[in-house]
Structure 1
Amino acid sequence: MFAFPDWIEEFQVEDNLFAEAYEATEPRLRAWLKKTIAQVYGVNAPESPRKSWTVNTWPGGFETEVSQRPLDWTVMLINEGSVSPVRILAALVPALAAGVKNVLAIYEGQGHIPQSVLAAFELAGQEDIVRLERDRLEELLTTIAVGGSCGAVLDMRQDANLFLNSPYVRYWRAPFISSISVCKDEESPDMDALAFAHPDVDFIDVDEDSIAECSGDCAVVPAEFVGEALVSFRTVLAYGQEGCWIWNDFGSRFFRQESIALAVAE
Structure 2
Amino acid sequence: MADDFFPEWLYSRQIDDDQFGAAYNNVSDFHRSCLKTNIARHQALYGFPDVTSVLEKKVLAQGGSVEIQVRPLDWCVFVLAKGYASAPRFLAVLMPALFSGVQAVAVVQCGSESVEGTILTACELAGVETVVALSEQQLITLVQDCSVKGHGAVLTLGTGVLSGLNTTSASQRTLKCWSEPVYHTVFADKDADLNLLSWAHPDMELICSAASVKGRLLATCAASADTFPDVPVRLGAGQEALFCWPGLQKDFFLARSVAFLA
TM over 0.5: yes
Q: Answer yes or no: is the 8 Å Cα contact 1:218–1:237 preserved in 2.
A: no
Q: Provide the rounded CA distance (Å) in 1 between the counterparts of 2:194 and 2:53.
A: 42
Q: Provide the rounded CA distance (Å) in 2 between the counterparts of 1:136 and 1:219.
A: 34
Give the gaps of 5 or more residues in structure 1: none
Structure 1 residue 184 and structure 2 residue 190: aligned? yes
User: Secondary structure of 1:154's match?
Assistant: strand
Q: What are the equivalent positions in structure 2 for 1:52-201 lying under 5 Å apart? A: 52-56=54-58, 63-145=65-147, 147-160=148-161, 161=163, 162-163=165-166, 164=169, 165-185=171-191, 189-201=192-204
Deviations 1:128-157 (A, max 9, x none): 011112222222222223x14110001113
Runs of 4+ in 1 over 4 A off after TM superposition: 56-63
Task: Name 2:226's counterpart in structure 1.
Answer: 228
Figure out how many residues of one structure are paired with residues of the other and give that number.
255
1:47 offset after TM fit, Å? 4.9
Matched AA of 1:176: V
**TM-score, normalised via structure 1 length:** 0.87
Q: Provide the rounded CA distance (Å) in 2 between the counterparts of 1:57 and 1:190.
A: 56
Q: Provide the rounded CA distance (Å) in 2 between the counterparts of 1:27 and 1:60.
A: 62
Deviations 1:161-197 (A, max 9, x none): 2211210100001111211111123xxx222211111
Q: Cα RMSD over matched residues?
A: 2.1
Q: Answer yes or no: is the 8 Å Cα contact 1:51–1:70 preserved in 2.
A: yes
Matched AA of 2:205: D
**TM-score, normalised via structure 2 length:** 0.89
Q: Provide the rounded CA distance (Å) in 2 between the counterparts of 1:139 and 1:57.
A: 43
Q: Answer yes or no: is the 8 Å Cα contact 2:5–2:146 preserved in 1.
A: no
Structure 1 residue 206 and structure 2 residue 202: aligned? no
Matched AA of 2:221: P
Between 126-135 and 57-66, report the one with greater CA deviation: 57-66
Q: Provide the rounded CA distance (Å) in 1 between the counterparts of 2:6 and 2:72.
A: 16
Matched AA of 1:197: A
Q: Answer yes or no: is the 8 Å Cα contact 1:86–1:197 preserved in 2.
A: yes
Matched AA of 1:239: A
The change in CA–CA distance for 1:230 and 1:41 in structure 2 (over 3 A counts) is farther
Identity, in percent, stands at: 29
Task: Name 1:245's counterpart in structure 2.
Answer: 243
1:248 offset after TM fit, Å? 1.9
1:206 offset after TM fit, Å? 2.9
Matched AA of 2:155: L
Matched AA of 2:196: A
Q: Answer yes or no: is the 8 Å Cα contact 2:49–2:100 preserved in 1.
A: no
User: Secondary structure of 1:227's match?
Assistant: coil
Give the gaps of 5 or more residues in structure 2: none
**Residue among 14, 17, 41 paired with 1:15:** 17
The change in CA–CA distance for 1:152 and 1:110 in structure 2 (over 3 A counts) is same
